[in-house]
């Protein structure tokens, strides 16, 4: 086991950039320590949430770095087998770039394969992704066991986001500068991906990128579906957590019902269907808001809170987050 790289990663303080924010060194160590004659590395390039487009940015511009990260992980685990869990839309855009690079490594004895994923929100969930690669329904698995102990084909499996592996390669080169990729969208002048220090506040990011709006606004931070909504006055010390998305909304021109419907439409489409609260809850929420001119807040929260408390996976549990934070931070109803 090459502990060197794990120590470097730990020192650099890398955390998962898929949205979970789990310590990368810890994750690597768990897989490294796990018993098993075969281990897998998986690059998670599912990026199925709205408002996120940094993985495609990184894979387009720095595919070599991401692959370098993969190789570092494989070598560290003394493994040869890796999968790119690649969103089908991305596959079309990237295959000409990625495949030659992958072949180069495969010629050296690695076995890296691209798994073309039907684009979906749940497809990014680690255990659902494992099921998909194994040819099963794209649904989350019960945890434990965690993928680091029993993942793909029940073997210890390291699943890292594209950006995380990019950062690993930077760390190995001694070039990691504590930056992350932010996805800026909404009513902005300079939309797109910005690579900036990871300790900048949302306000600073908006200002430094020349994006700070001249109108009254609020933002959704983390991801376009699950992200927390903050009012203009709440972003001074607020980091862009999760997967690093920032979407800006003009307050006056945003119809709350329409915004909520946008979120719910996404969720009721993307729920994998496995568990009751998420499968039926997202559907009932969407129908409920669609059928009413006024937002039926109490009835909505009844379902949302049930989903938060009892959904099978984190996706169902987080549906409440944008709506609740929008309700209390922006509409100031709490």
Partner 1 sequence: MNQVIVSINGKQYPAPFGESLLKTAMDNGIEIPHFCYHEDLPIGSSCRTCLVEDVKTGRVVTSCSIKAEDGVAILTDTPKVKELRLKNLELLLAGHQKNCPRCKKGLFCRAADEFGKYGVSTVKYWRPEIQEKLHLMSQAALIDPQLCISCNKCVEICDKIGVGFLKMEGKNIQTHATWSRDKETDCIYCGQCTLHCPVGSAREQNQMEDVEKALADKNKIVIAQMAPSVHASIGEEFGLPIGTDMTGRAYTAFRKLGFNHVFDVNMGADITTIVEAAELVERIKENKDLPMFTSCCPAWVKFMEFYHPEMLNHLTSSRSPQIHSGAAYKTWWAEKKGIDPRKIVVVSFMPCTSKKYEARHEKLKIDGMWPVDYVLTTREFGALLKKYKIDLPNLESSEVEEPGTYSGAAVIYGASGGVMESALRTAYFDLTGKELDKLEFEKVRGIEGIKRTEVEINGRTIKVAVVSTAANAEKIIQEIKNNKSAYDYIEVMACPGGCIGGGGQPIPTTLAIVEKRTESLYKTDAKMKLRQAHLNPVVRDFFDNYIAKLSPAARKKILNTSYSRKKKFE
- Which residues form the interface with partner 1 (CB under 8 A)? 120, 122, 137-138, 142, 268-277, 279-284, 287-288, 299, 302-303, 306, 309-312
For partner 1, the closer CB: 73 or 122: 122
Query: Please, which residues have CB within 8 angstroms of residue 282's CB and are 6 or more apart in sequence?
Result: 264, 267, 268, 271, 307, 316, 319
For partner 1, the closer CB: 123 or 322: 123
Phi, psi of 147 (to 5 degrees): -55, -30
**Exposure string for 15-35, b = 16+ CB within 10 A, e = fewer:** bbbbbbeebbbebbbbbbebe
For partner 1, the closer CB: 261 or 280: 280
The tokens describing 168, both together, are: 């690993």
Give min distance, CB of 240 to partner 1, in A: 29
167: preceding bond cis by omega (within 30 degrees): no
For partner 1, the closer CB: 191 or 317: 317
Give min distance, CB of 134 to partner 1, in A: 15
DSSP 107-150: HTT-EEEEEEEPP-SGGGSHHHHHHHHTTS-S-PPPSSSPTTTS
CA distance linking residue 12 with residue 95, whole number of Å:
31
User: How many other C-beta atoms lie within 10 A of the C-beta of residue 114?
Assistant: 18
Q: Beta strand pairing status for 157-161 and 40-45?
A: parallel
Give min distance, CB of 305 to partner 1, in A: 8
For partner 1, the closer CB: 189 or 290: 290
For partner 1, the closer CB: 99 or 265: 265
For partner 1, the closer CB: 36 or 119: 119
What's the order of all strands across the beta sheet hosting 81-87? 111-117, 81-87, 40-45, 157-161
Give min distance, CB of 138 to partner 1, in A: 8
Helix (H) or strand (E) holding 12: helix 3-12
The tokens describing 78, both together, are: 């003394």
- DSSP letter (8 states) at residue 234: G
For partner 1, the closer CB: 137 or 236: 137
Give min distance, CB of 303 to partner 1, in A: 7
The tokens describing 106, both together, are: 């495969």
Give min distance, CB of 293 to partner 1, in A: 17
For partner 1, the closer CB: 144 or 214: 144
Would you call 56 helix, strand, or coil by DSSP?
helix
Give min distance, CB of 93 to partner 1, in A: 24
Bridge-partner residues for 197, per DSSP?
Answer: 179
Bridge-partner residues for 44, per DSSP?
Answer: 85, 161
Give min distance, CB of 8 to partner 1, in A: 36
Give min distance, CB of 322 to partner 1, in A: 18
């Amino acid at each position: 086991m090459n502990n060197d790289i794990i120590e470097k990663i730990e020192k650099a303080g890398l955390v998962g950039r898929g949205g979970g924010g789990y310590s990368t060194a810890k994750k690597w160590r768990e897989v490294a320590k796990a018993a098993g004659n075969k281990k897998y590395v998986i690059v998670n390039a599912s990026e199925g949430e709205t408002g996120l487009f940094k993985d495609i940015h990184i894979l387009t511009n720095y595919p070599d770095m991401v692959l370098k990260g993969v190789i570092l992980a494989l070598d560290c685990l003394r493994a040869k087998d890796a999968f790119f869990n690649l969103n089908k839309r991305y596959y079309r855009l990237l295959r000409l770039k990625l495949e030659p690079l992958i072949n180069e490594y495969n010629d050296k004895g690695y076995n890296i394969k691209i798994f073309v994923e039907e684009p979906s929100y749940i497809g990014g969930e680690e255990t659902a992704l494992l099921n998909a690669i194994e040819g099963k329904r794209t649904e989350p698995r019960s945890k434990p066991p965690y993928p680091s102990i029993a993942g793909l084909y029940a073997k210890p499996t390291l699943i890292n986001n594209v950006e995380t592996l990019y950062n690993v390669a930077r760390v190995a080169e001694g070039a990691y500068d504590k930056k992350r990729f932010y996805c800026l969208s909404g009513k902005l002048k300079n939309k797109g991906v910005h690579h900036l220090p990871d300790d900048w506040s949302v306000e600073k990011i908006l200002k430094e990128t020349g994006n700070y709006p001249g109108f009254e606004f609020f933002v959704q931070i983390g991801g376009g579906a699950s992200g927390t909504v903050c009012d203009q006055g709440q972003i001074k010390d607020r980091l862009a957590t999760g997967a690093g998305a920032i979407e800006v909304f003009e307050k006056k021109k945003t119809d709350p019902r329409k915004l909520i419907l946008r979120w719910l439409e996404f969720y009721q489409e993307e729920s994998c269907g496995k568990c009751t609260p998420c499968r039926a809850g997202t559907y009932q929420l969407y129908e409920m808001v669609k059928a009413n001119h006024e937002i039926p807040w109490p009835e909505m929260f009844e379902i949302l809170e049930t989903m938060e408390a009892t959904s099978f996976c984190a996706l169902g549990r987080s549906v409440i987050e944008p709506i609740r934070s929008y309700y209390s931070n922006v509409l100031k109803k709490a």
